[in-house]
Structure 1
Amino acid sequence: MDTPEDLIHRFYTAFQNKDYRTMQACYADEASFNDPAFRNLSGYEAGAMWEMLIHRGSDTTIEYELIKADDNEAIVRWTARYSFGPKKRPVVNRIQATIKVKDGKIIAHTDTFPFYAWARQALGISGWLLGWTPYVKKKVQKGALSSLARFIAKKNE
């Protein structure tokens, strides 16, 4: 069984290598995932989300730094660089992950990042003007969950 530190390195190395299957295997079935765009995902949904993001983000690169790891929790700072949306706007997203671990698997994963900073890059002028509003955040969340639902449905056809 992996130590939490080993698990984190396996997860983020797989991410760097665009190996979503290994990333999925790091999650417990009952795991949860949250970030400003994807809320309240199950372990299966989180795995599908990473698969979707890897398929769509052919130019995505990530760097990570393990800040802390103990028997139950890890803190990771990571940076994702990618093009977003049909206009391929460049995004550099600096994220902090809090990952809870049990029996060598991720049971809770929460990524936090400044949504407005992300929106200014990803959404262009509308992100600059309105990215700080709850309306835009909810619209992004709804779109993210809708995209994930379509991806899962197509995958399960």
Structure 2
Amino acid sequence: MSAHQELIKTFYTAFQNLDYETMKACYHPDAYFRDEAFELNGIEPGAMWHMLCERADGMTIDFSVTEKNGQVTAHWEPKYNFSQTGRFVHNIIDAEFEFKDGKIIKHIDRFNFWRWSRQALGLPGLLLGWTPLLRKKVSQMAMGNLKAFMAKNY
């Protein structure tokens, strides 16, 4: 297993254990993270994982890490109760990584937002989860939650 694969395995194992300090330590200081709700830089990705670990409600995570032609990817499936609604979510996520100085410099998570929104939000997600309007609203709420969390904890 390459050092990069080992780093990603460490990252997701830490997430399974809600160990946000180890997760944060996996990122380069100039890291970039993007998914369907967040676009983050610097210390923000680590702060996001910190927030998510503290809010995890009965979460479990299964993951696998692969490397092909030097490109490390992960497939991970968190199962949790969404904190805003209490609804059960089983998300299916594919992640791509780039590295610098032995740390994650770029992390992109991709998942089906409509599938997620149907689970997390119920009827509004079913009816509007495919629209840019709901995606933007969820992103704004997520970023607002992160900014408030960072103001309190960082």
User: Where on the TM-score scale, by shorter chain, does this alignment land: which range?
Assistant: over 0.9
What is the aligned partner in structure 1 of residue 94 from structure 2? 96
What is the aligned partner in structure 1 of residue 26 from structure 2? 26
1:7 aligned partner, one-letter code: L
Alpha-carbon distance between aligned partners in 1 of 2:43 and 2:11, rounded to the nearest angstrom: 15
Q: Aligned with 2:91: secondary structure?
A: strand
Alpha-carbon distance between aligned partners in 2 of 1:93 and 1:38, rounded to the nearest angstrom: 16
- Deviates most, 60-69 or 108-117: 60-69
Q: How large is the RMSD of aligned CA atoms in angstroms?
A: 1.3
1:107 aligned partner, one-letter code: I
1:68 aligns with 2:67: yes
Distance 1:44 1:155, change over 3 A: same
Structure 2 matches for 1:1-157, cutoff 5 A? 3-39=3-39, 41-68=40-67, 71=70, 73-156=71-154
Q: TM-score, normalised by structure 2?
A: 0.95
Tell me, yes or no, if the aligned pair for 1:79 and 1:93 is still in contact at 8 Å. Answer: yes
Tell me, yes or no, if the aligned pair for 1:4 and 1:69 is still in contact at 8 Å. Answer: no
1:29 aligned partner, one-letter code: P
Tell me, yes or no, if the aligned pair for 2:5 and 2:66 is still in contact at 8 Å. Answer: no
Distance 1:130 1:21, change over 3 A: same
Alpha-carbon distance between aligned partners in 2 of 1:134 and 1:86, rounded to the nearest angstrom: 20
1:118 aligned partner, one-letter code: W
Alpha-carbon distance between aligned partners in 1 of 2:51 and 2:127, rounded to the nearest angstrom: 28
Q: 1:138: how far off?
A: 0.2
Alpha-carbon distance between aligned partners in 2 of 1:42 and 1:76, rounded to the nearest angstrom: 20
Q: 1:69: how far off?
A: 5.4
Q: 1:60: how far off?
A: 1.2
* Structure 1 segments (4+ residues) deviating >6 Å: none
| Structure 2: gaps (5+ residues) | none
Distance 1:125 1:50, change over 3 A: same
Q: Number of residues paired by the alignment?
A: 153
Alpha-carbon distance between aligned partners in 2 of 1:155 and 1:106, rounded to the nearest angstrom: 23
